Chain A
């Protein structure tokens, strides 16, 4: 069944920028898990007469993100005051770039069922975070440790058409920001917080329906759940001839539903005006060029290169380029094996055994040097050990940190490739199993695998399986 309505979504993502200090003062940008209100100063507490000073690194990180998102970098950015009253905002206004943002008119590429698609980036601008409220027993408690931490707000055009596209956009955006070192991407610590603007329109229509804004989405899963919920709710309203109201909603993760925070009538009037305490920010071409040069290869470019240079399939190249640490490890290993192991084999070992071990050890960084890994793969490629033993050795490398060669030597794991030794093992096996031999000779050739397994067991897994196979075929 074709759905009667088409989904139209624009996303707003707030990413916490990686800096040492807050946006406008010297308090730490990374100390909000500590005792409440232990990370404040007169500036972020909004004491009268205190003046903000712009953090250069926050501006640099914003421009780097803008460049990676193919944005135009404004020659002059202006901070404005966004006025509203709430206890987590001590000044009574948030300082945010409004009319003249740092970055505008960009795009990011995502994969869809119909191929690559560009999602328009309306703007990416700099602002400051608010404090945190804890609600308890008829009172609210305010912690300002986080107040004033620099945030990058990234706003898309209403270009997303399915929940899968939304998820793909968020995944690619996170990948990009983490790769260029602009954000930690750590969702559990609130490093990325999202808002979705969603509307439905009759399939085939080109005008937009009434949009609803959903706030406080703190995980990709919450975005997906909230959108699914709103699609159901809005479809039901439209299907019965009703009208969707233009409201701002919140998302209750535990209850699995949205709720109305504000109606259009009570919408905030933020009374923006240029921040008189901060002179405009003129960005020189030289600085922008310097920041452009500081960007590493971006994930999608790297993915294309992995396919072209190493002959990897799209799916494999995608996995290997998604994380900068993994991608660097892949290429360092390739360089170290010096052609003895194919890129395909290296990819296979990383995505198989290595990823499995990372999972088991709950690691997000590879704990062994690429040189050690390369040595292991060379030992397998040169038949010093077989692939199964290779997996075992890698496991030991994870826990002991030793090199592969050392482990092979200490545990006497080198593969038995001595034809005489294997020949006698094969002969005694065949002598001990006349029935299986007879069945094999009568045409049940699948038994070959069983014979190989028996010899491997005899030799504690160290036999060269190809040689065993050859010998078995010779004597059977």
Chain B
């Protein structure tokens, strides 16, 4: 039985920029642990004789020619944006430590 710690759940939440309450962390810790247990079951299968693969499809090398195609208008591109400023998507300030 896997048991994810609150810290591990918190770390994953930070990676995907989610703010979780203590109750949610508790809830997800048990749910994610169950998922990991399921994955552990799959890992029990002996794959030592099976070459690694990146896909289950037989397709290879699907490519297109290097040509440009019609683009969206600025208004179409921004149609679903919760916030815009002029022609930009507007989001909360992003700081990277330089400020």
Contacts and interface: CB of A to CB of B under 8 A. Distances in A.
A86 B68 CA distance: 27
Contact of B54 (A38, A78, A87, A250): A78
Contact of A36 (B11, B71, B88): B88
B60 A280 contact: yes
Which 5 residue pairs are nearest across A and B when measured between Cβ atoms?
A: A26-B69, A57-B66, A274-B54, A141-B88, A279-B59
A21 B60 contact: no
B22 interface: no
Interface of A: 19-21, 25-28, 35-42, 45, 53-59, 76, 78, 83-87, 100, 133-135, 138-144, 250, 252, 259-262, 268-269, 271, 274-276, 278-283
Interface of B: 11, 15-17, 54-55, 57, 59-74, 77-78, 85-94, 96-98
B66 A140 contact: no
Nearest to A57: B66
B93 A37 contact: no
B81 to A, nearest CB: 9
B74 A38 contact: yes
Contacts of B61: 279-283
A21 B66 contact: yes
A469 B29 CA distance: 98
Contacts of A21: 66-69
Nearest to B95: A135
Contacts of B54: 78, 100, 274-275, 280
A280 B55 contact: yes
Contact of B63 (A20, A56, A259, A269): A56
Q: Residue among A55, A76, A260, A280 with the most chain B CB within 10 A? A: A280
Q: Residue among B17, B67, B72 with the most chain A CB within 10 A? A: B72
A84 to B, nearest CB: 8
Nearest to B94: A140
Nearest to A20: B66
Nearest to A86: B94
A261 B97 contact: yes
A53 B71 contact: no
B6 to A, nearest CB: 17
Contacts of B72: 40-42, 45
A53 B90 contact: no
Given A37-B88, A78-B54, 12 more contacts: A26-B67, A35-B74, A35-B87, A38-B87, A41-B71, A59-B63, A85-B15, A86-B94, A133-B94, A261-B98, A281-B63, A282-B61
B55 A142 contact: no
Given A38-B71, A141-B85, A135 B93 contact: yes
